[in-house]
Structure 1
Amino acid sequence: MRKPLLTTDFLDRARRHYADEEAVLAVDGTRYTYAELGDRADRFSAALQDRGIEKGDRVAVLDPNTHYHLEAAYGAMQVGAVHTPLNYRLTPDDFAYMLSDAGVDAIYADAEYAANVEAVREEVPTDVFLTNDADAVDGDWESFDGALEDADPAAYERPEMDEDDVITINYTSGTTGDPKGVCRTHRAETLHAYLITVHQEITDDDVYLWTLPMFHVNGWGHIYAITGMGARHICTRGVDVADAFDRIRTEDVSYFCAAPTVLNMLGDHHADHGGATTGENPVRVATAGAAPPEATIRTVEEEFGWELKHVYGATETGPLVTTSDAKRHYDLDSDDRFAVKKTQGIGYLGTDVRVVDEDGDDVAPDGETIGEVVVRGNQVMDRYWEKPEATEQAFSERLDGYYHMGDLAVVDEDGFI
């Protein structure tokens, strides 16, 4: 049997089995059940269709980690529109480029950041502008909540969708040129969410703290995995370490993601202020980016009592493609675990991760010979938005059919990157 893999299945499952359970703790303290979250997403779907949004149209979301982001994302995807999250730290010129490049048809922007879109309004190809606080934004912006109140949640029509349809466009950082729109399909997003559910050990009783930006590759897939499992979202407006510790204690947070820099910020804050580092639940934290130094891992695991999972990837790959959480390769009570946890690790299930030389041949697994990391997996992007030459180069430069990460690495005798 073949059942299409659709991103809409995650919220559908949650409200079918967890309708009366808490889904989201909003920044303002409002708590929403999965039935309520689903109703608000349905209303946004209806509001989008009332404004002419159709399958394949792009809906941009400029928002920190609030419930509005979740509602806008699912509301857009339910009508087959392409969820296009944007980095709220960027400039008006950045937004003008990305919104025009994607050809967006509607924009939801948090009131704190909407001015940066308003500044380039005439350069943006849409006349649908929504925000959470229209009174706080100069220009002609509609109220998101007002649009939901006026919408009939039963009125929207969900179109036929195929798992190979593009459903998200995530823009790269643009460090070597203009940002590129990474096109990801229902299938890629779904399988990536399945993978992180397994490797990050996500369950329905998890309490997930949003410190990782939702805009960053859809929060590493957690807008799907946490929702689909029926776990709780604890929303924030970014990283505030004092608030993070408070939420961990008072909301019994069990899981979150944090770059090594954020882990260091948490360590510095705790060294200065002390206090409990957990609530009722044990805590695990995923980190990615630069390899965390041993001192950081010691702080997280020995002082905080958390379990650290080091992962690796890129916007184009889902993002996550490897993990160093391979417990049979180290003694949990020995310092030998640090040497393993500092590596990028081994490939996720169903993911082919290799390090190759200039001829596309695998480097020797000696921990010394350097090559480029290349990846093949179901979570890898479909293409760059309207950039066929860049797509071709990304998948064929050294080894045909593999996405080329642009990162140099070595491989040890156990296959760890």
Structure 2
Amino acid sequence: MQTALSVMDFLDRAESVYGDRIGLIDEPTQPAESWGSLTYRRMAELARAQAAGLDRLGVGRGERVAIVSHNSARLMTSFYGVSGFGRVLVPVNFRLRAEEVAYIVEQSGASLLLVDPELDEALAGVPCARRYVLGAASDAELYDFTTAPVEHRIDENDTATINFTSGTTARPKGVQLTHRNNWLNATLMALHFGASDRDVYLHTLPMFHANGWGMPFGLTGLGAQHIVLRKVDGAEILRRVERHGVTFLCGAPAVVASVLDAAAEWDGPVPGRDRVRMIVAGAPPPSSVIQRVEDELGWEFLQIYGLTETSPVVTVNRSRAEWDDLPPAERAEKLVRAGAPALGTRLRVDEQGEVLVRSNTVLTGYWERPDETAAALKDGWFHTGDGGSLEDGYLTISDRKKDVIITGGENVSSIEVEDVLYGHPAVAEVAVIGVPDRKWGETVKALVVLKPGRSAEAADLIAHCKARMAGYKAPTSVEFRESLPRTSTGKLQKFRLREPYWAGHSRGVN
């Protein structure tokens, strides 16, 4: 017998087995009225009511529903109320500017746009057939508790979510992830990191980011409790770890840094010692930071490597029995690697040093981009664009072959930033690169050649970018050059530009 895998399986099980358990505690302080504490039975009722509301609005099977929201119960429930009933959820980065959101809404063909109240004014000009601001007022329109939703038949290869990633082009690409992709990713994450119904998970990771790495699915199916955190703050993370008995959280290296900084100022023992495990991805922090997590916080450090295109898990790195007696510094050196392939994942490194992946979590394609899909999935392997090496079954990422900068866990297309800078009247040439940064892992740096007779200050160019794109994408520093190195065919040699900044680093990523 074979039954189709559906993201709804996770909430169905939670309702059946853990219906009376508090499954989700919403962010108490938010512009939309908080939903407070929800049992898993109530979560399932809300998901069905949302699906019935979409029926009433005429949003049919396969239609896209875009949502731009900070972490919230409404966003998490939408993974089920939208995707679980045959539509496609498009979770959008809430840090993007209106023009960027408008492109995603148009590109995905979304017929319904849901917007966080904090973003209402900024996104007022984003066109969509239907638009609602999340909150108590719109709940009456979006949730129908009077009728049962239409039960659309779901094939496990149907697209469940479209997650837009900056990639290497100036325009973001829509990553199509199926029910099967999301289901297997969520199950692998739960399996490799030992999740159970005793876990309390703190949502420090944005849920829009690769669907919260699958945690809204896998931990729900196991009956763990979700604690929603709207905005990352190190001290607030520690307070909630203490208040709710948190055992599990995920985040980029910048989140690790914020917690370590807060712990240094914490009055009394740091909460969660010998209880909390933290999964880190986006870019590996230095081994010294890993050691600080284990020594100063007493938390277990774990790492994954992945991409939005892989749902995201590719490799996992968790301390193993053979490392128990190693000195802390030596164990940290082993944990700094990207990790070993997740169950069912095949890896190889080609002749050019690029990491290739074959897995059930790999995307079906980029939305309405057949040429880029074919290039990414050439010869039956997903081409990550990252350089790396395999030794003793463990992957180490050494360089980023694509023009992507990962700052604070967020992808920034260097091409996109360059395109904006070229719009400044004083800029003749520009190269945008990632340089090491203690807090963010990498930060955006612009190397600029000015037009003859023109002048500009670094602050002018940074302000120019911030006015036209999300703030995290803007350069944090600008350096003026007389010229930029190019090949005989005119191609910019970014590796030469990066070299001085990465001198002393064992890898070209941080």
| TM-score higher than 0.5 | yes
Alignment of 1:145-224 (within 5 A): 145-147=139-141, 151-152=144-145, 154-224=147-217
User: For the Cα contact (< 8 Å) 1:96–1:120, is it kept in 2?
Assistant: yes
Query: 1:239 is matched with which residue: 213, 232, 235?
Result: 232
User: For the Cα contact (< 8 Å) 1:251–1:279, is it kept in 2?
Assistant: no
Corresponding position of 1:365 = none
- Offset of residue 32 of structure 1: 0.6
Cα deviation digits, residues 27-46 of structure 1 (max 9, x gap): 11711100111111111111
Corresponding position of 1:19 = 19
- Offset of residue 176 of structure 1: 2.8
Corresponding position of 1:55 = 61
Alignment of 1:238-257 (within 5 A): 238-257=231-250
Letter in 1 for 2:304: V
Letter in 2 for 1:304: L
Corresponding position of 1:295 = 288
Query: 1:408 is matched with which residue: 381, 384, 387?
Result: 387
Letter in 2 for 1:65: N
- Offset of residue 106 of structure 1: 1.0
- Offset of residue 328 of structure 1: 4.1
- Offset of residue 173 of structure 1: 2.1
The 3-state SS of whatever aligns with 1:5 is coil
- Offset of residue 131 of structure 1: 2.1
Residue 82 (structure 2) pairs with residue 103 (structure 1): no
With over 3 angstroms needed to count, the CA separation of the structure-2 counterparts of 1:272 and 1:82, relative to structure 1, is same
Letter in 1 for 2:211: N
User: For the Cα contact (< 8 Å) 2:65–2:90, is it kept in 1?
Assistant: yes
- Offset of residue 236 of structure 1: 1.2
Alignment of 1:256-271 (within 5 A): 256-271=249-264
The 3-state SS of whatever aligns with 1:410 is strand
Cα distance between partner residues in 2 of 1:55 and 1:275: 53
Query: 1:115 is matched with which residue: 111, 121, 125?
Result: 121
Cα deviation digits, residues 124-183 of structure 1 (max 9, x gap): 3x2x2222248xxxxxxxx3322256x135421111111111111000024532100000
User: For the Cα contact (< 8 Å) 1:24–1:234, is it kept in 2?
Assistant: yes
Corresponding position of 1:377 = 359
User: For the Cα contact (< 8 Å) 1:250–1:279, is it kept in 2?
Assistant: no
- Offset of residue 120 of structure 1: 2.3
The 3-state SS of whatever aligns with 2:301 is strand
Query: 1:344 is matched with which residue: 335, 338, 353?
Result: 338
With over 3 angstroms needed to count, the CA separation of the structure-2 counterparts of 1:164 and 1:334, relative to structure 1, is same
Cα distance between partner residues in 2 of 1:281 and 1:110: 36
Residue 266 (structure 2) pairs with residue 273 (structure 1): yes
User: For the Cα contact (< 8 Å) 1:83–1:169, is it kept in 2?
Assistant: yes
The 3-state SS of whatever aligns with 1:221 is helix
Query: What TM-score does the superposition give when structure 1 sets the normalisation length?
Result: 0.89
- Offset of residue 79 of structure 1: 2.4
Alignment of 1:59-78 (within 5 A): 59-78=65-84
Cα distance between partner residues in 1 of 2:221 and 2:153: 21
Cα distance between partner residues in 1 of 2:319 and 2:191: 13
User: For the Cα contact (< 8 Å) 2:302–2:319, is it kept in 1?
Assistant: no
The 3-state SS of whatever aligns with 1:378 is coil
5+ long unaligned stretches in structure 2: 29-33, 397-510
User: For the Cα contact (< 8 Å) 1:310–1:341, is it kept in 2?
Assistant: yes
User: For the Cα contact (< 8 Å) 1:372–1:405, is it kept in 2?
Assistant: yes
- Offset of residue 222 of structure 1: 0.8
Corresponding position of 1:137 = none
Cα distance between partner residues in 1 of 2:134 and 2:8: 23
- Offset of residue 268 of structure 1: 1.3
Letter in 2 for 1:40: L
Corresponding position of 2:479 = none
Corresponding position of 2:320 = 327
Residue 350 (structure 2) pairs with residue 356 (structure 1): yes
User: For the Cα contact (< 8 Å) 1:44–1:147, is it kept in 2?
Assistant: no
Name the structure, 1 or 2, with higher relative contact order (CA <8 Å, separation 6+): 1
- Offset of residue 72 of structure 1: 2.0
Query: What TM-score does the superposition give when structure 2 sets the normalisation length?
Result: 0.74
Corresponding position of 2:500 = none
Cα distance between partner residues in 1 of 2:180 and 2:347: 20
Residue 88 (structure 2) pairs with residue 82 (structure 1): yes
Cα distance between partner residues in 2 of 1:243 and 1:339: 29
The 3-state SS of whatever aligns with 1:373 is strand
More strand by share: 2
User: For the Cα contact (< 8 Å) 2:234–2:260, is it kept in 1?
Assistant: no
Cα distance between partner residues in 1 of 2:285 and 2:105: 35
- Offset of residue 78 of structure 1: 3.0
User: For the Cα contact (< 8 Å) 1:329–1:340, is it kept in 2?
Assistant: no
The 3-state SS of whatever aligns with 1:24 is strand
5+ long unaligned stretches in structure 1: 135-142, 359-370
Cα distance between partner residues in 1 of 2:111 and 2:393: 49
User: For the Cα contact (< 8 Å) 1:220–1:319, is it kept in 2?
Assistant: yes
The 3-state SS of whatever aligns with 2:5 is coil
Larger radius of gyration: 2
Aligned length: 389
User: For the Cα contact (< 8 Å) 1:42–1:154, is it kept in 2?
Assistant: no
With over 3 angstroms needed to count, the CA separation of the structure-2 counterparts of 1:25 and 1:332, relative to structure 1, is farther
The 3-state SS of whatever aligns with 2:43 is helix
- Offset of residue 333 of structure 1: 4.9
Cα distance between partner residues in 2 of 1:218 and 1:41: 17
> Identity over aligned residues, as a percent?
37
Residue 275 (structure 2) pairs with residue 282 (structure 1): yes
Letter in 2 for 1:355: V
- Offset of residue 17 of structure 1: 0.6
User: For the Cα contact (< 8 Å) 1:25–1:233, is it kept in 2?
Assistant: yes
Residue 306 (structure 2) pairs with residue 313 (structure 1): yes
